[in-house]
Structure 1
Amino acid sequence: MAGTLLGVGAGVFILALLWVLVLLLCVLLSRASGIARFSIIFVVLGALIITSVLLLLPRASEFPIPEVEVKIVDTFFIGRYVLLAFLGAIFLGGLFLVLIHHILEPIYAKPLRSS
């Protein structure tokens, strides 16, 4: 069973993610006022349509394909680590600049009240 996790395929996780997002969006829209509150109906109907399309039109075939041993070779191994090091350096530099900006922010004295 290639492409399965916990005994189920990716479609189950896609449907679960879809409905979790729909429920979250419904909770957020229920706090809205006016006409925006009624858009929950369209969100649920859209999720029902997407779910029915995903259930009625599966991409996998009914008959399993005989498995052939596939040798996977990572040809971009060094480039990936160079890119990772570059992005890490950019992240650390940006973090350093943000912290310096907040640490070195001037604190202005409050004017004294004249009596």
Structure 2
Amino acid sequence: MVNTVLGVGTGVFVIAAVWIVALVLCMVLLRAAGSVKLGIIPIFLLALTISLALGFFPRTPETRPAFKEREIVDSLFIARYVLLALV
């Protein structure tokens, strides 16, 4: 979780920005006359679709592995073969 601000990731800010823009566009379209007001419906559905896509398909997993598996390394490999050669 490197890209966090106040413990919140980038996706939350993207979703908030999408809904703020959708809300502003809906308020602007409410002031319009005639059938232009119906433009609110596709804007709302687009914001909903973007939010659901970002929610259901996150870029990173929610949980990270708690520990790294230990790797067994023989650090005395060369010394053992030198000792074996001398014996």
> TM-score scaled to structure 2, two decimals?
0.69
The answer to whether 1:22 aligns with 2:32 is: no
> TM-score scaled to structure 1, two decimals?
0.53
The residue number in structure 2 matching 1:58 is: 58
Structure 1 stretches of 4+ with a deviation exceeding 6 A read: none
Return the index of the structure with the highest Cα Rg.
2
**Percent identity, aligned pairs only?**
43
Displacement, 1:64?
A: 3.0
Q: RMSD between aligned alpha carbons?
A: 1.7
Q: Give the Cα–Cα distance (whole angstroms) in 2 for the partners of residues 41 and 6 of structure 1.
A: 33
The residue number in structure 2 matching 1:102 is: none
Could you list the per-position Cα deviations for residues 22-68 of structure 1 after superposition, in whole angstroms to 9, with x for gaps in the alignment? 00000000011111111101100111111111100101124437xxx
Q: Give the Cα–Cα distance (whole angstroms) in 2 for the partners of residues 42 and 32 of structure 1.
A: 16
Q: Give the Cα–Cα distance (whole angstroms) in 1 for the partners of residues 28 and 22 of structure 2.
A: 10
> What amino acid does structure 2 have at the position aligned with 1:21?
V
The residue number in structure 1 matching 2:13 is: 13
> What amino acid does structure 2 have at the position aligned with 1:44?
F
The residue number in structure 2 matching 1:42 is: 42
Q: Give the Cα–Cα distance (whole angstroms) in 2 for the partners of residues 13 and 62 of structure 1.
A: 17
Comparing both chains, which one has the higher relative contact order based on Cα–Cα distances under 8 Å and sequence gaps of 6 or more? Answer: 2
Within 5 Å, which residues of 2 pair with 1:93-108? Answer: none
